[in-house]
Amino acid sequence: MRVTFLGTGTSTGVPVIGCRCRVCTSKDPRNQRLRPSILLEWNDRGILVDSSSDFRQQALRHRIDRLDAVLYTHGHADHVMGLDDLRIYNFRQKADLPVYGSAGTLEDLRRTFWYAFTETQEGGGKPRLDLRAVADPFDLFGVRVDPVPLWHGDLEVFGYRIGSFAYCTDCNRIPPASMEALDSLDVLVLDALRPTPHPTHFSLPQTLALLAQLRPKVAYLIHMSHDIEHVETEATLPPGIHLAYDGLVLEIQA
Ligand SMILES: [Zn+2]
Ligand SMILES: [Zn+2]
Ligand SMILES: [Zn+2]
């Protein structure tokens, strides 16, 4: 399986509009973070996790010419606002696009993108999505996908485990059953918003403490704000823990 990090920034993106801080003005491309999303590829299929506010730019940058499914973690704007651009794949592939998420997340999508799920006049090219609510492990193109419930403040969101890989964005608490579900991973991708505490995201020290418990072989941190400077922060991390960056690609044995 191949994992491509399309965006590793928090909801504002980095640089933040109007900000002149040293990270927002940094020339290092690893300090420039689009909104959070990854592309997974296996068995010649492309699976998007979240359609971020920057999806169009991400799809052009990474030449995502084909998509076979979308997994949603939750319905917050930074993770869903690219949904309308998914219609290009309906046009190209002449088929509806299967979309997976919790019943609550799919309900949020129906409300936010009401026009895509109601009868409207002819001529408006709308996304055609086949919403599939999941709660238990399911098969996707010959591979088992496990939804992993996480807490993002008071909101339940999904992480996803696929074999020895798991993607857990937007969370600040992991219930005991999900801690077990995240055991024995080769690669764990995890929220680490900033050095200081936040009500709905893990801070960097909290993320490191959690990783010391979960002990994946390698961890990559995401959903980072402009309070995290790449090179400086990377140098402080324990072995096997890295900051992800936009454009990073991982090849993972299933
Ligand atoms: Zn987010
Ligand atoms: Zn800044
Ligand atoms: Zn969120």
- Whole-number Cα distances in Å, 241 to 165, 179, 224: 14, 18, 15
Cα–Cα distance for residue pair 233/223, rounded to 1 Å: 14
Tens digits of residue pLDDT in 182-205: 999 999 999 999 999 999 999 999
Tens digits of residue pLDDT in 2-18: 999 999 999 999 999 99
Q: Per the confidence metrics, is the pTM higher than 0.85?
A: yes
Residue 91: count of CB within 10 angstroms of its CB: 9
Q: From the CA of 195, how far away is ligand 3's center (Å)?
A: 18
| Smallest-distance ligand from the CA of 12 | 1
The mean pLDDT value for 118-140 works out to 93
Domains by residue range for the chain, with CATH:
2-251 (3.60.15.10)
Res 254: pLDDT = 66
| Smallest-distance ligand from the CA of 9 | 1
Q: From the CA of 101, how far away is ligand 1's center (Å)?
A: 15
Q: What is the mean pLDDT of the chain?
A: 97
Res 52: pLDDT = 98
pLDDT at 114 over 70: yes
- Whole-number Cα distances in Å, 94 to 66, 116, 246: 11, 16, 30
pLDDT at 124 over 80: no
The mean pLDDT value for 137-164 works out to 98
